[in-house]
Structure 1
């Protein structure tokens, strides 16, 4: 088909797959001047924020999707899926549009060496740091994760929760996160580390064991490993996820276990947390991600019932985020909707962008109501089935209506 799935498997009760733009490496070494800028920025002091404060301060978020998680034959390459090399100018444009947080999905895959050290390719880690610095040096919040390493459909993947040799997988996971954490230990609280992305067994349906127990174990290894590297990592906000970042499977009784945080800094008040919960939101899937022209409208403003899904409207969105609020936010654990959005179907319905904007505004405003931050999924693709808000070659805004809706959703 013309469009491939946009990240190998999606969360959500729709049990479908998302789309990636039409895909076609440049590893750029960290320059001395940028390194100096990063060191200068990382030395800045920022007051530690509690749960409600950091969610408010993160503001509107945006994903640099289909870049540092892209790969060719298992080797990460930011241009592998048809995007240009990431530039400072692009990140500056994103900030100028009103976004305060950038999530940078990162894959490591075959850039991880053999055991027992599992050394990350230095040029790749340097490039990851350089892209982080594009946003971090501008005072933005930056989220980095381990993105494609847990997808069975990705060449070179290894963080597989139902694979046989879990001892080896867990040792590798620990070593890789240890290296990442040491690299960024001097960065202030504007850097948030995320344990994994949409981790599950690849089969849609209820979570299975021992796969879910292994996901819980990965989260615990992540928290312990990052904390033990010291520096600002001892008090940094850390982001963890349940089964496939699915709200029901995280907030419900399906086996999710919050990691303990016993190695965190003693300077953190006992009644405060430093762990966040990650979920993704693409419901209803037939509007947000299904590659057909059948469902193009959403919400109470829809004018054609035949083009509106029979589920997943405002009431469902409210109930889903209320689940996370009741389970986690009320106990001091912030929630981050690390991905949400809807694809462009204007080729089927010229009014589609209006409903895409309505959807984005509703996700942001409902998340704010329930104490959650939001990060829009942008896969860099504009046009039919694209999630893009910007043209990454010209840095021009392509969907001002959606961006304005996001900002208005914050109130």
Structure 2
């Protein structure tokens, strides 16, 4: 428990040594350098998870020798990280879905290969610092099994075999910290209970449980109208963290959230609206602390620049870093919209104080005047019409001014003051492979899109919901003045069946549009 507490916070070196190609650069990241690890350490991270995929570097049965150059490269990176003072976790990573998953129908061969890898790793690293941690397998999964009972049996066999091999190898491995996952690294109660049974049987005080957490799925990928960090998203998080705390931490078994983030981040961090994203990470860091869970941020290169050593989204990282030690105040939105076609009126936001107290509202280094520029009544922060008139200035479309609400702890909450008008969409004709709706955004920002046929049934992918997946079915292209409808959307749209699209914007505006697909041709008209 003490060691795992000392591992907080952690970071994943994703999409490098875990790539399924023949080289660590196969998935687009540069070769790992000591300077990268030095700079990650300087951000405040105390542990680093180095996922490793072995499949492309194995010889044949029965010994499945690991290519010497590759094992030496992994050891080199591990040693750099240990020299930086990190706790370091290595594992068997994408092998989980490449070949480990065939265990239900190929048990003997899978187990032999798995055991051969861990036998070699245990030997290679048995003299390494006790700060090196082994994780048995990433996101274990099985194809063609008879169901939950067999899955649990197979994972138990992998985890206990791993434990036996490492412990029997001697050296520092006799007491090395070993990390065991649930099936799919899921925090569902049944999966947690299955892993707890394994822990009880092994009765080893140097074991750690691990699950992954990417949030409530509709919010995590922005589908089905999951645009906001609301009570449902929050409860999904608290339920998950409560389950692993009550099963493991309360029994003295530490837990590592071995990966966390939002699934939409695999595309880019703009899939989820900035303010809603910040609220998610603020709360996640807070609740993990209260439940004594160590967290490891999943970073496949989209967060910390691997050669420039800077954060792609500094505001996001500032919120994450703050959440390691304290709470931050937030608000119902990070945007205040005023329509240019209307007179400017006062606007109210609800503050989420999160145990802090409101200190000031500032534009740069200048404090706005309470009572003149804004009022505060309980948790209701109201910007006056006079202040907004000044802040909007010439009322150009887009962000006219940026304010920050400061609280007694944590990071300030940014508030953009935005001028907009109702977006205007125009007709278009193109193909299913390259269809864009000409759009005058007029300062507004797209939140989500609904798609329905004339009879009211849902159109397009995920047809159980009218709300389509952001950046998969559709995406705004602000620089190009268009909304792109992706080939993935049209692939699941009926031929010659008009679809009514409803675009929801963050200002509250809704704009409808009609598209009809005929083969590979698409015609779009204003509705």
Normalised TM-score (structure 2): 0.57
Distance (Å, rounded) in 2 between the aligned partners of 1:149 and 1:78: 15
**C-alpha distance in 2, partners of 1:346/1:146?**
27
1:268 maps to which residue? none
* Structure of higher RCO (CA pairs closer than 8 Å, 6+ residues apart): 1
Q: Which residue of 2 aligns with 1:6?
A: none
Q: Residues 91-144 of structure 1, C-alpha deviation per residue, up to 9 Å, x if partnerless?
A: 111111111111111000131111221111111111111111221110011111
Structure 1 residues 276-355: aligned runs within 5 Å: 276-290=208-222, 295-299=226-230, 311-313=232-234, 315-342=235-262, 343-344=264-265, 347=270, 352-355=273-276
Cα distance in structure 2, aligned partners of 1:167 and 1:347: 45
Q: Please state how far the C-alpha of 1:406 moved relative to its aligned partner.
A: 2.3
From 299, 304, 315, the equivalent of 1:401 is 315
Counterpart for residue 177 of structure 2: 237
Asked if the contact 1:243–1:250 (Cα under 8 Å) also holds between the matched residues in 2, the reply is no
CA distance in 2, matches of 1:126, 1:348: 38
| Equivalent position to 1:257, from 197, 210, 213 | 197
List per-residue Cα deviations over 1:289-345 (Å, max 9, x = no partner).
35x695443247xxxxxxxxxx322x3312211111111112221011001112456
Distance in 1 (CA, whole Å) between partners of 2:110 and 2:304 is 37
Q: What corresponds to 2:139 in structure 1?
A: 198
Gaps of 5+ in 2: 326-527
Q: Structure 1 or 2: larger strand share?
A: 2
Report the equivalent of 1:45.
none
Q: Any idea what SS the aligned residue of 2:295 has?
A: strand
Match of 1:391 in 2: 305
CA apart distance, 1:255: 7.4
CA RMSD of aligned residues (A): 2.4
Residue equivalent to 2:297: 376
> Which of these two proteins has the greater Rg computed from alpha carbons?
2
Residue 146 of structure 1 contacts residue 195 of structure 1 at CA under 8 Å; is this kept in 2? yes
Runs ≥4 in structure 1, deviation > 3 angstroms?
A: 249-257, 259-262, 292-297, 343-349
Give the number of equivalent residue pairs: 321
Range that drifts further, 53-62 or 235-244? 53-62
1:171-210 paired onto structure 2 within 5 Å: 171-201=112-142, 208-210=148-150
Larger fraction in helix? 1
Secondary structure of 1:338 counterpart: strand
In 1, Cα distance between the equivalents of 2:233 and 2:143? 23
CA–CA distance in structure 2, aligned partners of residues 333 and 298 of structure 1: 30
- The two structures have a TM-score, normalised by structure 1, of 0.72
Match of 2:305, SS state, is coil
Equivalent residues of 1:251, 1:324 under 8 A apart: no
1:192 counterpart SS class: strand
- Structure 1: where are the runs of 5+ without partners? 1-50, 152-156, 265-272, 301-310, 381-387
